[in-house]
Amino acid sequence: MYGAMKVSIGGPLKLAFRPWVEGLENIPAEGPAILASNHLSFSDSLFLPSVLPRKVTFIAKAEYFTTPGVKGRLKAAFFKGAGQLPVDRSGSRGAGEAAVKSGIEVVERGELFGIYPEGTRSPDGRLYRGKPGGLARVALATGAPVIPVAMIDTEKIQPPGKVIPKLMRPGIRIGKPLDFSRYQGMDNDRFVLRALTDQVMYEIMTLSGQEYVDIYATAAKRQIAEAAKAEKQAQKQAEQAQKDAEKAAAEDAGKGSANS
C-alpha cells in the first residue's frame, strides 16, 4: 500500500509542487536511521516521503485510525498507506511511551523512522525546543544514526484557514548523520537526553535558517491562544465602552433638547 500511495499521491505532489532537495545522499541506502525534522505543516509527512528512495515511518495519534464511518475508514486507510503508525495516547505515560516503543520497533527492523522532536507543528514558523523523550530515547536504545532534516516553506503552501493550497516550491535539506552510539544504553540519563536533543535541534536550525525559541511549541501555542483571547476580550470591552459612551451622549442630548 505504501508503494501505491507513493505513486498515486507522491508522484502528483512532486509534479505539482516540484520540491527541491539537498543532501539526499545522506540517507543510507539500507539499514536503520532516525530522521529528525522540524514541523511546519501537515504536508511535511507527505513531502518528505515523496522525495526519499526508501520508506519512512512516522507516528500518528490513534484517533486518526479509529474514527467511525466511511470518512473515518478512508482517513485510516490514508494514514496506513502513508506509512503512519497509530500511537495510543492512553496509559500512565501516554503517547511518549507508545512513541518510543513504536520507534524502537521500526528501527530494529532496519527501517527509517521519522519523528518531529518539537512534538507538534510550529505555530508561527519558528523552531522550538525539542522534547527530550522520543527522539533521544529511540536513538540511545538502538544506537541508530540520527539524520537532521529541515522542511522549508511548507507552512506557506496551506496556512491555517486556507482550503486551496498555494502552488510553490518547498524545500528539504537533509544533514549528515549524527552518531550517538557512544551514549547507547544511557536512555534514562536526563542530562544525556537533553544534550542529544539540543544538538539535533541545533543542526536542524542550521539547516532551516529558522529563528530558535527556547520554549516548547505547546507552551507557545498556549501563549498565543491566551494572547488572542485577551485581545478579543479587550476589543469587546472597547466596543461596549464605545456603545455606552454613545448611549450616554444621546441621552444627554435628549435631556438638553427637553430642557430647552
Res 38: pLDDT: 97
User: One-letter amino acid identity for 166?
Assistant: K
85: cell is 503508525
Q: What confidence tens digit (pLDDT) does each residue in 16-71 have?
A: 999 999 999 999 999 999 999 999 998 898 899 999 999 999 877 666 667 777 77
Res 196: pLDDT: 96
Q: Which of 8, 16, 5, 1 is nearest to 164 (CA)?
A: 16
* Predicted TM-score (pTM) of this structure: 0.83
What does the DSSP 8-state code read for residue 169?
-
- Asked if 183 contacts 140 with a C-beta cutoff of 8 angstroms, the reply is yes
Q: What CA–CA distance (Å, rounded) separates 14 from 47?
A: 8
Distances (CA, A) of 24 to 53, 54, 147, 152: 9, 11, 11, 15
Q: CA gyration radius for the chain?
A: 24
Strands (E), 144-218: 146-152, 171-174, 212-213
Res 92: pLDDT: 45
Q: What CA–CA distance (Å, rounded) separates 28 from 112?
A: 9
210 against 64, higher pLDDT: 210
Q: What confidence tens digit (pLDDT) does each residue in 167-207 have?
A: 999 999 999 999 998 898 888 899 999 999 999 999 999 99
117: cell is 522532536
Beta bridge partners of 84: 58
Mean of the pLDDT values across residues 210-229? 90
